[in-house]
Structure 1
Amino acid sequence: MKKTAILFIIISIILCCCKSNHKQQEVPNIDLMQIQDSGRIVALTMYGSTSYFLYRGQPMGFEYELMEQLANSLNLQLIVKVARSQHEMVEMLERGEGDIIAYNLAITKEYKDSVLFCGDEHITHQVLVQRNGLGNKKPITDVTQLVGKEIYVEPGRYHDRLNNLNEELGGGIVIHPVNTDSLSTEDLIEQVAHGVIDYTICDNTLAKLNQTYYSNINIDLAVSFDQKSSWAVRKTSPLLAAYATRWHQLNIKTMAYKASTKRYFEVSKMIPHSPMLDLSKGIISPYDHLFKKYAKDINWDWRLLASLAYTESNFDTTAVSWAGARGLMQLMPGTAQRMGIPKGKEHYAEESVRAAVKYLGLTADQFKTIPDPQERVKFVLASYNAGSGHIIDAMALAEKYGKDKYKWDHNVEEFILLKGKEEYYNDPVCKYGYFHGEDTYRFVKDILSREAEYKDKIKN
């Protein structure tokens, strides 16, 4: 009798587990009509330089902007949720935590069994990143020329492809896997551009984006077969899939799509700067009177404010950055509005300086726990460039890894550089995701160096 009772209990538990598992595996039956009724569409994505990131507090990314355009076409509010991996993204979709994957998900047999692919069928391949005019040599134009060359590559699929290519060629490529704790693929691209190394490998989309930072890199040589990817929805959302595909076919002809493509893959991310001005007459710019007038509001030296303006806009009041920052002090539109610049006056020099100083003061308040005023200035400058969220993340990482979170040099600055690496921006202490930190790292150094030069030349 006891055995029968025990057997019955075991069978009951198994049945309950099966029912529970079946319930968990049910895919929500939500399609375009239900999404429209809800008034919002939830997009799933991953942090990345071409997908989604925060810049000066503003959400950006090529895929993000396309998703905004799709949401606008349906008159829906866009909600973004970030996953840590493609596998997690698909699981979130199947659980009903999102409506559409707005990320180039690899079109594989595994995922075809789980989702409906839709939108643009994006075709990528891996390319060799090299410098134009490498010494006296012409760029490599054939993979056979890689034999005998040293190629630095991040472990994973790039390294795997390079190993396979090496076998296909009968050996001879000198492959250097890098330490992923300190270098990312984007770091390697930068090293190629600066002549530290000669070659690396990455996806052509990432390479094309990085050409807007480093105009001297060559990315013409493909070293892999094509890989297809696209957005995706649940299998229970065929109408949404059909709409997204048709919408994309029409959207690629619009000005909004062309503007997004130009912003991320064509427009240079670097502001051209003229040579150092002649400071012999004690004049830095035509706007010195404004820097002197408003710097007092935050107890800054006016020459520091002038150095910030030069770095941001080259003293060009009409400047517009790739991200949409405007004017002498290059404030983002949302920030300019919050700081009280009237619409249409973003290019007025005094409005720009006044608003920038107000913003700098508010930012300084966020870092008032930093006891050293000179250190605090570095954090404020970094936040002006990156947005305070990424600096707060870098401080949290510094503390976690035993560095001083209240010191910039050799401490927090090291972790703003690491915010472009997945294992760091996906760390639980980080709240603001991916960031290309090299610009911020240089930004702080350049401004303080130029301020010192201004002070050396101009004594008041």
Structure 2
Amino acid sequence: MDPMPYFEYQGRPMGLQYALIAHFAQQHGLRVRVEVGRDEAELLRLLQSGEVDVVCYPVAKKSIEGATLTAAGVKVDSLSTSWVVRSNAPLLKTALDTWYSSGIVVEVTARAQQLWQHRRAVKRKVRAPFISKEKGILSIYDHHFQSAAKAIGWDWRLLAAICYQESGFDPMAESAVGAQGLMQLMPAT
């Protein structure tokens, strides 16, 4: 199972368990509201009190024996873990059990990885890296790199290389997470 069932990156919810419950919600016309617990005991308390409807975390089945809770949805038999719902929610249990199959994990994981790879890519136009290799001109921004490098005591070509790697010398480059410009700085920077 996923070592990070839920986390936020750039303000977006992520993780395998989140992706799975989001898929279930989408299939059933529901909306996901996340409540984060410190540990398994707190998650089960939130469920028993009715503050949440399902614990989307691989809970040890022995933790719910004799309780008013039942295993539902995502189950990993080799680890004896599963998601958990209240015993008095048979329709939710049935919906989760009907939706879940081992193939759904593969499908959701593949879709999440594809989306993540797409988001990581910087959208940029391909530009020739050298304006004049013979004259040692790397870009139209060389004079900026030279003055900035002098101020910080770096080789200006290192700054140019970073710029090329980050944006391909495209001042309009923007990554999917919001980094912008030649050096791909975040707006808060």
Structure 2 residue 178 is matched with structure 1 residue 353 = no
| Residue of structure 1 aligned with 2:64, choices 95, 111, 115 | 111
- Separation (CA, whole Å) in 2 of partners of 1:117 and 1:62: 18
Q: Is the 8 A contact 1:291 1:353 kept in 2?
A: no
SS in 2 for 1:96: coil
Q: What's the counterpart of residue 96 of structure 2?
A: 244
Question: What residue ranges of structure 1 are gaps of 5+ in the alignment?
Answer: 1-47, 124-225, 272-276, 294-300, 318-326, 337-351, 365-460
1:77 aligns with 2:17: no
Which residue identity is paired with 1:63? Q
Task: State how far apart, in whole Å, the 2-side matches of 1:236 and 1:104 are.
Answer: 20
Structure with the bigger percentage of helix: 1
Instruction: Determine the structure 2 residue equivalent to 1:56.
Output: 10
SS in 2 for 1:83: coil
Q: Is the 8 A contact 1:62 1:261 kept in 2?
A: no
Are 1:119 and 1:247, in contact at CA under 8 Å, matched by a contact in 2? yes
Q: Secondary structure at the match of 1:236?
A: coil
Counterpart residue number, 1:101: 55
Find the counterpart in structure 2 of residue 331 from structure 1: 176
Cα RMSD (Å)? 4.2
Q: Which amino acid aligns with 2:176?
A: L
Structure 1 pair 306–64 and aligned structure 2 pair: CA distance change class (3 A): farther
Alpha-carbon deviations, 1:362-395, whole Å to 9, x = none?
303xxxxxxxxxxxxxxxxxxxxxxxxxxxxxxx
1:308 to partner: Cα distance? 6.0
Q: Which runs of 5+ in 2 are unaligned?
A: 122-128, 145-151
Distance 2:11 2:160 in 1: 21
8 Å CA contact retained: 2:16, 2:109: no
Cα–Cα, structure 1 residues 308 and 257, in superposed 2: closer, same or farther, change >3 Å?
same
Letter in 2 for 1:69: H
Check whether the contact 1:52–1:62 (CA below 8 A) recurs between aligned residues: yes
* Matched residue count: 162
1:235 aligns with 2:87: yes
**Could you tell me how far apart the structure 2 residues matched to 1:94 and 1:292 are?**
65
Query: Which residue of structure 1 aligns with residue 126 of structure 2?
Result: none
Quick check: 1:67–1:102 contact (8 Å CA) kept in 2? yes
Compare relative contact order (CA 8 Å, sep 6+) and give the higher one, 1 or 2: 1
- SS of 2:83 mapped into structure 1: strand
Determine which of 87, 101, 108 is the counterpart of 2:41: 87
Deviations 1:96-131 (A, max 9, x none): 1101001111111x41222111112214xxxxxxxx
Q: State how far apart, in whole Å, the 2-side matches of 1:84 and 1:253 are.
A: 25
Task: Answer whether contact 2:19 2:112 (CA < 8 A) is retained.
Answer: yes
Shift of the alpha carbon at 1:258? Answer: 3.3
Superposed displacement of residue 328, structure 1:
5.6
Q: CA deviation at 1:235?
A: 1.0
CA distance in 1 between counterparts of 2:17 and 2:71 reads 15
Task: State the identity as a percent.
Answer: 23
User: Greater Rg, structure 1 or structure 2?
Assistant: 1
